[in-house]
């Protein structure tokens, strides 16, 4: 049996993003994001209800300051104690795991999606996506970009403005473009 475009997307294979099934899921996310981003700080229960419908999983305590942007939401797993500041963008064309007690500063960008480097494949409209995992007790500074396929270990700090293109181990401070370890914490 042939895989659906969604199955290909989640398996890290070339897929067509304009597939009808994916378009329906994207519209669902857009509707929920529009509702979420229109809420105020006086509506914490409404925010939680929308996030429960939007994300695959949310922890006990979660705070996301609008605006929030994502592709589907249904591929995002956020642990308890997660705090996302203004303008977070999550391209969740593959699984995004965010551990417990993770702090994301303003304008953090988490990208599972990417395009083939070969022009003829890219021009076919096919895309790729690789999962991202952020461990527990991680602090990600403002404007950080996390690229497809990256894992960030527990208790790590990523400095503002960094571009994370490779895995970062646990218990370190890492900064720069490309992001690199500058100090061990343990």
Beta strands 145-146 and 163-164 are parallel
> What is the residue whose two structure tokens read 């695959």?
56
State the burial class of residue 120 (Cβ atoms within 10 Å of its Cβ: 0-12, 13-18, 19+).
exposed
Catalytic residue among 115, 122, 166, 183: 115
User: ω into residue 67 within 30 of 0, thus cis?
Assistant: yes
| Per-residue DSSP letter, 161 | T
**Which residues does 161 contact at the CB level (< 8 Å), separation at least 6?**
141, 142, 143, 144, 175, 177
Q: Which two tokens stand for residue 52?
A: 């429960």
From start to end of 27-75, where are the E strands? 57-58, 62-64, 68-70
Query: Does the annotation mark 115 as catalytic?
Result: yes
Positions annotated as catalytic residues are 115
């Amino acid at each position: 049996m042939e895989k659906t475009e969604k199955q290909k997307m989640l398996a890290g294979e070339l897929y067509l993003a304009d597939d009808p099934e994916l378009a329906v899921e994207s519209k669902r996310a857009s509707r929920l994001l529009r509702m979420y981003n229109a809420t105020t700080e006086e509506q914490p229960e409404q925010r939680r209800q929308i996030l429960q419908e939007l994300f695959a999983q949310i922890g006990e305590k979660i705070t996301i300051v609008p605006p929030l942007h994502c592709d589907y939401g249904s591929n995002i797993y956020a642990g308890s104690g997660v705090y996302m500041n203004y303008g977070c963008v999550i391209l969740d064309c593959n699984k995004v795991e965010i551990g417990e007690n993770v702090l994301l500063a303003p304008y953090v960008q988490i990208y599972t999606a990417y395009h083939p480097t070969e022009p003829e494949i890219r021009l076919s409209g096919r895309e790729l996506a690789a999962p991202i995992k952020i461990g527990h007790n991680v602090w990600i500074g403002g404007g950080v970009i996390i690229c497809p396929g990256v894992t960030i270990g527990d208790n790590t700090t990523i400095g503002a403005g960094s571009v994370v293109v490779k895995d970062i181990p646990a218990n370190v401070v890492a900064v720069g473009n490309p992001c690199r370890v500058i100090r061990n914490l343990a």
